[in-house]
Amino acid sequence: MRFLITNDDGIEAPGLAALVEAAKGLGRIVVVAPAGPQSGCSHSVTTQGPLRVETTDRGFAVHGTPADCVRLALHTICPDVDWVLAGINAGGNLGADVYHSGTVAAVREGVLHGKPGIAVSQYRKRDLGWHWDRAASWTGGQLPTLLARPARSGRYWNVNLPNLRPEDPDPEALVCPLDPAPLPLEFRAEGDLWHYCGEYHTRRRKPGCDVNVCFSGKVSVTPIDLY
């Protein structure tokens, strides 16, 4: 199996290395990732100027967005890949997050070109740190199952890892739908500036949907259909 791996946190991000670690041994990997952080850029693409590509020891670094990386990769660098994997994002991409996430957009761009994909994100609570080794291990546990499923046209998988304490046992995974609730609307005024201050950790959690599953300490595995 051949994988294109990308992210939206940039080619230097530890989450990208964790995803490479999770997928290695399952096939051939080509990394084409943004040269710098692009979180929250959604499905933005560069069409009004050139895209500079550097070859680094981590892979191809594109001075552009995650969707640019996938477009360029599928057109030039590795058009023969079977799957597009994105992540592991530093932060959850649950519910309404999928619409502004660059990580999820990368996978969605692949799906538009007929390549199935998996977006992986690590939810983080404020008082718990990153544990990329565990994130890699949990992702490695999910990949064979998802890769073995017949790829339905137009469908991709959105996986979110829970943020557990180091002493907690490995989480179970649950296939669940995307939470339909919007993120909370909270803005703080400062003169004529409005600062978004919605509380991610206390957002609405519909029982059985991905936000609640991940916040409750399980891996949420959500199929999303483009059409």
Which chain residues interact with Mn ion by CB under 5 A? 8-9, 39, 89
- Spatial distance between the Cα atoms of 152 and 107, rounded to a whole number of angstroms: 14
Nearer of residues 15 and 147 to Mn ion, judged by Cβ: 15
Quote the least distance from Cβ 31 to Mn ion, whole Å: 16
Q: Count how many residues are written for the chain.
A: 227
Tokens standing for 158?
């959105």
Tell me whether residue 5 or residue 147 sits nearer to Mn ion (CB atom): 5
Residues of 24-58 as b/e, b for ≥16 C-beta within 10 angstroms? Answer: eeeeebbbbbbbeebbebbbebeeeeebebeeeee
Least distance from Mn ion to the Cβ atom of residue 8, Å:
4
- Is the C-alpha dihedral spanning 24, 27, 28, 32 positive or negative? negative
Chain position whose Cβ is nearest to Mn ion: 39
Cβ proximity to Mn ion, 101 vs 220, nearer residue: 101
Q: Are strands 193-196 and 117-122 parallel, antiparallel or unpaired?
A: unpaired
Question: In a 10 Å sphere around its CB, with 0-12 CB exposed, 13-18 middle and 19+ buried, how is residue 83 labelled?
Answer: buried
CB of 59 to Mn ion, least distance (A): 17
Half-sphere CA count of 171, side-chain side, radius 13 A: 27
User: Would you say 87 or 171 has its CB closer to Mn ion?
Assistant: 87
The Cα–Cα gap between 197 and 188 comes to 7
Nearest CB to Mn ion, comparing residues 107 and 147 = 107
Closest contact distance (angstroms) between CB of 180 and Mn ion is 22
Of 16 and 221, CB closest to Mn ion: 16
Cross-strand bridge partners of residue 165: none
Find the DSSP H helices in the chain. 14-23, 66-72, 102-112, 132-148, 210-215
- State the nearest-atom distance from the C-beta of 43 to Mn ion, in Å: 14
Residue 91 CB, nearest approach to Mn ion (Å): 6
